[in-house]
Amino acid sequence: MLATSVVDVLDAFDIEVSEKAMAVSGLVTACATIYGPRIVVYNIRKNRERKAGTSVTEGEQNPIVFPSKQAQFEETKTEPGIPPAAFDLGG
């Protein structure tokens, strides 16, 4: 839609553009259309993180937290009166 609008304007003002220039302008327009909103949203998110104090600043790093395997396989206590074998389906 944008490319046809540019061509219409060029025709209206009798401006001749080479095929290479049109191809490059089409590529730049497509990239700006795709990546422009992503860049804007990324900047908004980084500004919000910076205001909230959750972003990494120079010289500081947020610690990387890995889940504990012990916590994943820790046995949980069942309710009294329900034997664990009651739900055993033989698998």
Per-residue pLDDT, 13 = 93
Mean pLDDT of 66-82: 60
Token duo for residue 86: 């009651």
pLDDT digit string, tens, across residues 23-61: 898 899 899 999 999 999 999 999 988 888 765 555 556
Main-chain phi, psi angles of 88, to 5 degrees: -75, 120
13 three-class SS? coil
